[in-house]
């Protein structure tokens, strides 16, 4: 048996002297280097005692060394577990206790705070890696041989564990197999016509499926290269567009670029493709982008549990406000959430998907897994429809999720923290249209009379308790929350009432 994912990557590898990645400071890494560096990380992990199936967790800043660590983990037969850099130590405590990784890698600046947590959770090895790619993990890899005999892994063996936010406050680990990742990347590289000549501008975080699997795995399977940026920077992206061919972004990238006077047809001339996903792209953004650059943004739809499900066509019309067609090999249907029956085209219901991209279930949560599958179909939680031309449209999120700057925020978790603050009776967290972030996390709070609770006090109390992206951008006060006859808070009314809060 071979190592399913890495053997596929190797089989697609171009000449080893071809460029794999370039950093903003001009450092260049060819495919031969990718193979050698990932081998060194695999050797280091094996030496640290990592066994096939063990989890290797990283909460580190974006760096190419972290990418090599990902590939080394896969080659060593272990399970890669990236964690959002915004998570606080108390959130990390939960992930370490749930996933029980053999190795945990953190930023050196966080080591003192996280070491006692890792120890208490029985993590075997704590190592470090910083934004410049230096640290004890790097040193361990540097000392290793540059060849490695990949650990055999089949299509159904786990390659990664990616946590989603939980609606009930607990995050769930989505178990992704070698074939989930391999099949999806293969389809995307072909569907979006990637070739070895493509140069991708990589400005996404790599703790999420978009930047990690969609961007990097598609690049690897096409033998393309990427310009690897530490983060999104509109000035830099505009400069790079002159010698790149593809940009993958969240809608916020596009709205920020549209605000830049440098975005002209000339600036975008060398580019072949602009892709957007992870949150809804406003039809207005699509139209403005086309007017400014003569390019139609290609919008696609996916999620942590499934990788990519649908995409607008490469050739053919890319329709604003739609996410296109199911990808080859992916089946998608819309069902009535009440009775589970499939609906006709044009009717809004729950989106369900099936295919080799769909995950193996939630880590150690068999009941939750069973609850999210319906006759072998994965229930996405997204409400949508298939129009008469077969394009899928997402119309809303069944689970009240707020998506801010491409990140998911589940209101329940924030409400629980706010309700614990002295002087708060109750709260409702909603997403309110925000030109920059898509949605701004907004807290509606009912405070005890006479306590004089202020917005600054609520925000101050949340600091350090929640990752920054989850913290409300604004806190507003009401005497009562609107409720329906069943006692449920009517968040739709709140969204309507506060829709202009961010100038919308």
Dihedral, CA of residue 4, residue 5, residue 6 and residue 7, to nearest 10: 40
Instruction: Provide φ and ψ at 397, rounded to 5°.
Output: -115, 120
Query: Which region, left, alpha or beta, applies to residue 460 given φ > 0 means left and ψ of -120 to 50 means alpha?
Result: alpha
Beta-strand relationship, 424-434 and 438-447:
antiparallel
- Residue 14 Cβ vs ligand AMP, minimum distance, rounded to whole Å: 29
Helix (H, G, I), strand (E, B) or coil at 338: coil
Considering only 54, 382, 413, 439, the residue that binds ligand AMP (CB under 6 A) is 382
The stretch among 146-154, 265-273, 379-387, 417-425 that binds ligand AMP (CB under 6 A) is 379-387
Residue 171 binds to ligand AMP (criterion: CB under 6 A): no
Residue 408 binds to ligand AMP (criterion: CB under 6 A): yes
Check if the beta carbon of residue 135 is closer than 8 Å to that of residue 127: yes
Helix (H, G, I), strand (E, B) or coil at 217: helix
Decide whether 39 or 327 has the Cβ nearer to ligand AMP: 327
Considering only 84, 164, 369, 427, the residue that binds ligand AMP (CB under 6 A) is 164
* Token pair for 358: 């769909």
In sequence order, which ranges of 17-161 are alpha helices (DSSP H)?
Answer: 31-47, 64-75, 89-99, 111-120, 136-142
Which strand ranges, in their side-by-side order, compose the sheet holding 424-434?
424-434, 438-447, 474-477
β-bridge mates for residue 431, sequence order: 441
Beta-strand relationship, 273-276 and 298-303:
parallel
- Residue 119 Cβ vs ligand AMP, minimum distance, rounded to whole Å: 31
The stretch among 152-160, 238-246, 378-386, 442-450 that binds ligand AMP (CB under 6 A) is 378-386
Residue 380 binds to ligand AMP (criterion: CB under 6 A): yes
Residue 297 binds to ligand AMP (criterion: CB under 6 A): no
Decide whether 121 or 434 has the Cβ nearer to ligand AMP: 434
- Residue 396 Cβ vs ligand AMP, minimum distance, rounded to whole Å: 9
Residue 326 binds to ligand AMP (criterion: CB under 6 A): no
- Residue 215 Cβ vs ligand AMP, minimum distance, rounded to whole Å: 13
- Residue 85 Cβ vs ligand AMP, minimum distance, rounded to whole Å: 15
Q: In the stretch 217-256, what mask flags binding to ligand AMP with x, by CB under 6 A?
A: ----------------------------------------
Considering only 72, 135, 280, 324, the residue that binds ligand AMP (CB under 6 A) is 280
Among the listed residues 404, 420, 412, 402, the one whose alpha carbon sits nearest the alpha carbon of residue 462: 420
* Token pair for 66: 């972290």
- Residue 209 Cβ vs ligand AMP, minimum distance, rounded to whole Å: 5
Check if the beta carbon of residue 165 is closer than 8 Å to that of residue 362: no
Site for ligand AMP in 453-482 (CB under 6 A): none
Considering only 3, 63, 278, 285, the residue that binds ligand AMP (CB under 6 A) is 278
Residue 180 binds to ligand AMP (criterion: CB under 6 A): no
Would you say how long the chain is, in residues?
A: 504
Cα(86)–Cα(470) distance, integer angstroms: 9
The stretch among 31-39, 137-145, 274-282, 490-498 that binds ligand AMP (CB under 6 A) is 274-282
Check if the beta carbon of residue 439 is closer than 8 Å to that of residue 404: yes
Decide whether 176 or 279 has the Cβ nearer to ligand AMP: 279
Considering only 70, 80, 192, 301, the residue that binds ligand AMP (CB under 6 A) is 301
The stretch among 105-113, 261-269, 302-310, 489-497 that binds ligand AMP (CB under 6 A) is 302-310
β-bridge mates for residue 392, sequence order: 324, 386
Residue 279 binds to ligand AMP (criterion: CB under 6 A): yes
Considering only 22, 65, 157, 299, the residue that binds ligand AMP (CB under 6 A) is 299
3-class secondary structure per residue, 152-202: CECCCCEEEEEEECCCCCCCEEEEEEHHHHHHHHHHHHHHCCCCCCCEEEE
Residue 394 binds to ligand AMP (criterion: CB under 6 A): yes
Considering only 188, 303, 453, 462, the residue that binds ligand AMP (CB under 6 A) is 303
Considering only 295, 333, 360, 397, the residue that binds ligand AMP (CB under 6 A) is 397
| Percent of residues in the chain assigned helix, strand, coil, to nearest 5 | 30, 25, 40
Decide whether 43 or 310 has the Cβ nearer to ligand AMP: 310
Among the listed residues 98, 257, 77, the one whose alpha carbon sits nearest the alpha carbon of residue 170: 98
- Residue 183 Cβ vs ligand AMP, minimum distance, rounded to whole Å: 17
Dihedral, CA of residue 456, residue 231, residue 178 and residue 374, to nearest 10: 40
- Residue 181 Cβ vs ligand AMP, minimum distance, rounded to whole Å: 14
Helix (H, G, I), strand (E, B) or coil at 457: helix
- Residue 238 Cβ vs ligand AMP, minimum distance, rounded to whole Å: 23
Cα(501)–Cα(444) distance, integer angstroms: 12
Q: With contacts defined by CB under 6 A, how many residues of the chain interact with ligand AMP?
A: 19
Residue 277 binds to ligand AMP (criterion: CB under 6 A): yes
Per CB under 6 A, residues contacting ligand AMP are 164, 209, 277-280, 299, 301-304, 323, 380-382, 394, 397, 403, 408
């Amino acid at each position: 048996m071979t190592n399913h994912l890495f053997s596929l990557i190797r089989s697609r590898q171009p000449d080893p002297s071809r460029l794999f990645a370039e950093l903003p400071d001009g450092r260049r890494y060819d495919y031969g280097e990718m193979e050698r560096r990932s081998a060194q990380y695999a050797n280091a992990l094996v030496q640290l005692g990592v066994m096939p199936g063990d989890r290797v967790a990283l909460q580190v800043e974006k760096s190419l060394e972290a990418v090599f660590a990902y590939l080394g983990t896969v080659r060593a037969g272990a399970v890669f577990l990236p964690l959002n850099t915004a998570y606080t130590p108390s959130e990390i405590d939960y992930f370490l206790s749930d996933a029980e990784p053999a190795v945990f890698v953190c930023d050196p600046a966080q080591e003192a705070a996280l070491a006692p947590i890792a120890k208490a959770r029985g993590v075997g090895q704590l190592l470090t890696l910083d934004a410049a790619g230096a640290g004890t993990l790097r040193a361990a890899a540097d000392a290793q041989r540059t060849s490695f005999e990949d650990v055999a892994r089949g299509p159904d063996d786990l390659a990664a564990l990616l946590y989603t936010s939980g609606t009930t406050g607990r995050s769930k680990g989505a178990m992704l197999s070698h074939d989930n990742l391999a099949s999806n990347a293969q389809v995307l590289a072909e569907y979006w016509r990637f070739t070895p000549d493509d140069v991708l501008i990589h400005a996404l975080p790599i703790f999420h499926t978009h930047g990690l699997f969609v961007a990097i795995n598609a690049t690897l399977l096409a033998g393309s290269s990427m310009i690897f940026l530490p983060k999104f920077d509109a000035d830099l992206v505009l400069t790079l567009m002159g010698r790149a061919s593809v940009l993958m972004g969240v809608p916020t990238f596009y709205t920020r670029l549209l605000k830049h006077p440098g975005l002209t047809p000339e600036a975008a001339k060398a580019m072949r493709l602009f892709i957007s996903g992870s949150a809804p792209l406003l039809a207005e953004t699509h139209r403005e982008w086309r007017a400014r650059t003569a390019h139609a943004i290609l919008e696609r739809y996916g999620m942590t549990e499934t990788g990519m499900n649908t995409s607008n066509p490469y050739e053919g019309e890319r329709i604003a406000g739609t996410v296109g067609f199911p990808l080859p090999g992916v089946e998608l249907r819309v069902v009535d959430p009440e009775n589970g029956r499939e609906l006709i085209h044009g009717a809004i219901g729950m989106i369900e998907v099936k295919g080799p991209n769909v995950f193996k279930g939630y880590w150690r949560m068999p009941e939750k897994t069973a609850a999210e599958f319906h006759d072998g179909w994965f229930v996405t939680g997204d409400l949508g429809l298939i129009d008469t031309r077969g394009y899928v449209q997402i119309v809303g999120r069944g689970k009240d999720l707020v998506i801010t700057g491409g990140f998911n925020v589940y209101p329940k978790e924030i409400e629980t923290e706010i309700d614990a603050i002295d002087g708060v009776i109750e709260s409702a967290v909603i997403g309110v249209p925000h030109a920059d972030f898509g949605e701004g996390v907004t807290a509606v709070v009912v405070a005890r009379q006479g306590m004089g609770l202020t917005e600054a006090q609520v925000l101050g109390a949340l600091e350090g308790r929640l990752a920054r992206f989850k913290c409300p951008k604004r806190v507003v006060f009401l005497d009562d929350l609107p409720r329906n006859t069943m006692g449920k808070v009517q968040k739709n009314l709140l969204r309507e009432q506060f829709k202009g809060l961010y100038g919308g």
